[in-house]
Structure 1
Amino acid sequence: MWLLPAQELGDVDQALDTALTYVNGVAIYALSHAERAAIHAVYQLYDALAGQPHADLTPAILNTARSPLYAAYDQVQIGGRLAKLRERILASTNQCPYCGFGEPRDLDHYLPRSAFGELAIYPRNLIPSCSPCNNAKRTVVPGLEPASGPSLIHAYFQELPNVEFLRADVTFEEGTLQVQYRVDGGGLDPVLTTKLQFQLDRLKLNDRYKGQINKFLSEQRAAMLMFREIDAVLFGEYLMRCANSLGESFGRNDWRPALLRALAANSDFCSSPADYLGT
């Protein structure tokens, strides 16, 4: 959850030529040497800016080429001339980095192509995501105007401190386990805290996690109850070890280890997990 390794770029010029040329060899749009150099410069600047918006990402020299570059994304879709690029990006992870559980089926333009057509087929502007996250994030245009508010973090470029910031608050109400996730800003930059919490809220993750939590705890139920029966004293430590193990696989700020940490710290749960999990 949250981060992914940056995409390999491959042959940028070949991708541009493939996207802007019909299969019969006729050019849809013939880039000039100056335009091609400008695209390379935009790509390099995008990386240097860690994917954040800037006026220099839409240089005037690309005003004419912007529209065909925008349309070139159609060739990244299934059946398009750049379909292998789509396949490669989607195959780079088996879970959506925005939510941590959805199957990646879409490519999200971190900077929307409606405003940054130059970046329509740039691999590092394309984030593999599940459809619910992509649809929820779609209208977020980071930094274009003050009213746009915070943005989601960039899965390829965001640096996250090595601290546990995702917290799960657990309660037991009317016989049902209730879990609410939040971002603990202690030790985090305030701007980063705002972006992380905005991501949780914008993607409605607390609502969407409910089904995943029930499924996850159902899978863990037998092992939890068995260990609690064998050694009640060390049950909390067992939960923490499970949390640490999952943290190594998914990241310490994934929703699963955060949930187990919260359960380990909950004395009522540790005293009688069967009340929460069912007998």
Structure 2
Amino acid sequence: MWRLDELELGDLDADLTTALTYVNEDPVYELSVAELAAIKAVYDLYEVMLGQPAPGLQPAILIAARPILHAAYNQVQIGGRLEGLRSRILASTESCPYCGFGEVKDLDHYLPRGTYGELAIYPRNLVPSCGPCNNAKRTVYPGMPAAQGPGLIHAYFQPLPDEDFLHADVEFDADGTLSVTFRVDNPGMDPGLAAKLQFQLDRLKLNARYRAQVNKYLSEQRTAMLMLHATGDAVFSEFLQRSSAALVASCGRNDWRVALLRTLAADPAFCAAPERYVGPPPAA
């Protein structure tokens, strides 16, 4: 969740050639030497700016080529000439970095291709994502009016502190219903970054979407939890703590599951009677 390892760029020249050449080898658009140099300069600047907006990402020399490059993204779709690029990006992660659980089926343009057509097929401007996150994020872009929100972090470039900042607040209703709300909170974190992370939670409606995931996850852990709880509350709490720590290696320390288990391990009500909240063990 939140971050992805930086994607290998692959052969950018080959991608451009494939995108701008029909299968019969006729050109869709012939880039001039100056236009090709400008596109490469845009790609380099995108890296320098860590994916954030900059005037140089829309050079005047690409006015004619920009709509062609914008349309070239159609070749990244299934059945297109750049379908291999799509497959490579989608295969780079097992779950959506925006929510941490969704199946990756879409490619999200971090900088919108409607504005930055030059980056329509640039691999690191294409974030593998699930459909719900991609749809919710669609009109969000860096540098949008402050009244609309601070935008989302860049899954490839945003540095994150190696500290806990995602927290789970739990409430136990009288009928045994477990309610969980996630929030971003770290006093030492840059306020702008904290605002972006919280905005991401809110914009993508993750708290509402996590409800089903929390129930599913705890149901999957029910048998192990109840077996460990039989050995005593203290051992059970330590089991939850160790389970949370073990998930850090694969999911990151601010994954929603890590935050959930960390909170449950410290909650006396849950550790005293987990069966009230996860249900009784399955019948033999």
Alpha-carbon contact 1:142-1:149 (below 8 Å) kept = no
Could you tell me which residue of structure 1 aligns to residue 61 of structure 2? 61
Which residue of the partner structure matches residue 123 of structure 1? 123
**2:223 equivalent to 1:222:** yes
Q: Secondary structure at the match of 1:169?
A: strand
Structure 1: stretches of 5+ with no match in the other structure: none
Deviation at 1:144, TM superposition (A): 4.1
Give runs of ≥4 in structure 1 deviating > 6 Å: none
One-letter amino acid of the counterpart of residue 220, structure 1: Q
Deviations 1:16-63 (A, max 9, x none): 111011111111111000110010000010011010011110010111
1:264 aligned residue: 265
How far apart, in 2, do the equivalents of 1:222 and 1:236 lie?
15
Q: In structure 2, what is the equivalent of residue 181 of structure 1?
A: 182
1:199 matched to 2:194? The reply is: no
Counterpart position of 1:85: 85
2:234 partner SS: coil
For the pair 1:137 / 2:99, whether they are aligned, the reply is no
Take 2:229 and 2:65, find their aligned partners in 1: how far apart are those partners? 65
The match for 1:249 is 250
Alignment-derived partner of residue 102 in structure 1: 102
Contact kept in structure 2, 1:153 and 1:195, CA below 8 Å = yes
Corresponding residue number in structure 2 for 1:25: 25
Q: Distance in 1 between matches of 2:57 and 2:271?
A: 53
**Which residue of structure 2 lines up, in the alignment, with residue 236 of structure 1?**
237
1:230 match: secondary structure: coil
Per the alignment, do residues 233 and 145 of structure 1 end up closer, same or farther by CA in structure 2, a change over 3 Å counting? closer
**Does the 8 Å CA contact 1:53/1:144 hold for their aligned counterparts?**
no
> Which deviates further from its counterpart, 142-151 or 159-168?
142-151
Segments of structure 2 that go 5 or more residues without pairing to the other structure are: none
CA distance in structure 1 between the aligned counterparts of 2:24 and 2:30, rounded to whole angstroms:
15
Distance 2:172 2:145 in 1: 42
Q: Secondary structure of 2:132's match?
A: helix
The CA distance in 1 between the partners of 2:232 and 2:269, in whole Å, is: 16
The structural deviation recorded for 1:148 is 4.2
| Other structure's SS at 1:181 match | strand
CA–CA separation in structure 2 for the residues paired with 1:42 and 1:248: 35
Equivalent residue pairs, number: 279
Q: Could you tell which deviates more after superposition, 101-110 or 22-31? A: 22-31
